[in-house]
Amino acid sequence: MGIGGSIFLIAIGAIIAFGVKQDLSWLDLDVVGWVLMLCGLTGLVTTISFWMTRRRRTEVIHHHQQQQPRT
């Protein structure tokens, strides 16, 4: 999803939960807003955790020197 998509879901969810006061008998917009914010937060945490594990990974290169034969 990425950071942009997660922030978008959080913003849309907050607008729906706190800004829209439409009364629909078959849909609770407060719940829809909170679910969208929760999905956005989950996506944000997941994306950041993947970024942190990717940055911690290091590559170790072993250099072996060939020894000269003893005479």
What tens digit of pLDDT does each residue of 3-30 get? 999 999 999 999 999 998 888 889 999 9
pLDDT exceeds cutoff 90 at 42: yes
Higher-confidence position of 1 and 41: 41
* Contacts (Cβ under 8 Å, ≥6 apart) of 49: none
The CB-based long-range contact list for 42-47 (8 Å cut-off, 24+ gap) reads 43/1, 43/2, 43/5, 43/6, 43/9, 44/3, 44/6, 44/7, 44/10, 46/1, 47/1, 47/2, 47/3, 47/6
pLDDT exceeds cutoff 70 at 55: no
The pLDDT score that the predictor gives to residue 34 is: 96
User: For the chain, what percent of residues have pLDDT higher than 90?
Assistant: 51
Helix, strand, coil proportions of the chain in percent (round to 5)? 65, 5, 30
The pLDDT score that the predictor gives to residue 71 is: 65
